[in-house]
Structure 1
Amino acid sequence: MNKKTVNHRSLSIIAGISYLIIFFSAVFANFFVIASIQNEPLVTLQENQLMVRLGIMAFLLTVVFDVVVAWALQKLYHDHVLSSLSTYFRLMHAAIMGVSVYAIVECLSLSSEVEIIKHIDTFNTIWLIGLFFFGFHLILLGQILKRPLLISIFLIIAGCMYIIDTGAHFLLSDYKKYSSIFILLVAIPSVIGEMALAIWLLAKKDRIK
């Protein structure tokens, strides 16, 4: 095993672990913290402020490791013509996510439910815009990977769904009527594709070509 192969293996492990950190951090921050604030704004911020602060840190962790994943994947596939473009889209996504977290920080000093929900809506809108660019990253990543074919297909589908979902938010005045359908269309391919990619990166032993 030569030095270059070892380097590729190290980058694969870094990308895989970073993906898992992103996944679990985002699940905690979105489905526990944000969901709690939306259901009980004042109670959450007054009685569970530590959880909210941990949620903020969890979101920041997703931003940090998003950059790490972008870097690792660019190094792994630097020879591919689409690699740099894919990296730029992911970095745009990370930057927008980082900005969106400020809206949650502002909630810590608010005492009005209306204002809190307004800030959370602002966070969700900015986050949604970030996912639009993330969708292009996934489509390009699916083209770059090529194999395993099934993972590439799920990544491309997930990317398309992110773009379609963001567009639907802004184009459909009655989006809420179809929100549960869109959530499933985004969640299923993205969870399968990205988790499968993380596991594949961690399990793969030979050099990625």
Structure 2
Amino acid sequence: MEPRRLSIITGLSYWIIFFAAIFANFFVLEAIVESPLETVQSNASIVRFGILAFLITVVFDVVVAWGLYKLYQRNLWTGLSISFRMMHAAIMGVAIFALPFALKSTTETEILIQVDIFNTIWLIGLFFFGIHLILLGLIIRKPLIIAWFLTIAGIMYMVDTSAHFLISNYSDYQSIFLILVAIPSIIGEMSFAIWLILKGGKSSTEI
């Protein structure tokens, strides 16, 4: 497949991940946390769509990994970077297993336990995703500013995951860590996705 078409597919896959993740996290998972029993019992179909959305993110995570590998396969670090992204996708797939059990739970405590299991496993996956982003920042040659944001985002993912397990009162600093992760991640990954769609693969010197 020609690099230009491959770049567009990869960029569009990024955007599918963004929208699916936004729906699953902010419209479904947050609803479960705020009203566990009501959401699971009265809006079970929404929860099922949320699970499907998470599955879609895993599928297109693999598509992005494939696209990035093909685009940058001449770089020494690409294989390692993609391996860490695939680790993240696999761990995310395992995490999703907890959510169907939430649908079968009959108490708020049971539901929230399943959500907590999901979040904990996913959090571990994000540590490896952070390594992927750091390496990706080293791999892409331009735009340099995007490479820097990807690298910073990767570092912040790793720091945030580590802080969850190392700082006993992490919740006191949660909002700060969220900002430190979200800003470089959103700017870096969304900008990279747009660049892939609009300009990626046009010149062999880019890859």
Same fold flag (TM > 0.5): yes
**2:12 is the alignment partner of 1:13:** no
Q: What is the alpha-carbon distance in structure 2 between the residues aligned to residue 62 and residue 185 of structure 1?
A: 23
Structure 1 residue aligned with 2:47: 52
1: CA distance between counterparts of 2:184 and 2:67? 22
- How far apart are residue 20 of structure 1 and its match? 0.0
CA deviations on 1:86-126 (whole Å, 9 max, x unpaired) are: 01000000000000001111111111100100110010000
* Residue identity (%): 59
Instruction: Point out 4+ residue stretches in structure 1 off by more than 3 angstroms.
Output: none
- Confirm or deny that 1:43 pairs with 2:38: yes
1:182 paired residue number: 177
Residue in 2 that maps onto 1:92? 87
- Alpha-carbon distance between aligned partners in 2 of 1:141 and 1:40, rounded to the nearest angstrom: 39
| Aligned position for 2:78 | 83
After TM superposition, the score normalised by the length of structure 2 is 0.97
Give the structure 2 partner of residue 122 of structure 1. Answer: 117
Task: Confirm whether residue 146 of structure 1 aligns to residue 141 of structure 2.
Answer: yes
Residue 111 of structure 1 aligns to a residue whose secondary structure is coil
Match of 2:151 among 151, 156, 163: 156
Question: How many angstroms apart in 2 are the aligned matches of 1:113 and 1:40?
Answer: 8
Query: Cα deviations across residues 3-38 of structure 1 (Å, max 9, x unaligned)?
Result: xxx710011011000000000000000111000000
CA distance in 2, matches of 1:35, 1:125: 15
User: Aligned-pair RMSD on alpha carbons?
Assistant: 0.8
SS of 1:108's equivalent? helix
> TM-score scaled to structure 1, two decimals?
0.96
Amino acid at match of 1:74: Y
Query: 1:3 aligns to what?
Result: none
CA distance in 2, matches of 1:105, 1:12: 34
Match of 2:167 among 155, 163, 172: 172
* Structure 1 gap ranges (5+): 1-5
How many Å separate the matches in 2 of 1:12 and 1:134? 20
CA offset at residue 146 of structure 1? 2.5
1:101 aligns with 2:131: no
Structure 1: which amino acid aligns with 2:79?
S
Q: How many matched pairs?
A: 204
Give 3-state SS (helix, strand or coil) of 1:78's partner.
Answer: coil
Aligned to 1:113: 108
User: How far did residue 68 of structure 1 move?
Assistant: 0.4
2:90 is paired with a residue of what secondary structure? helix
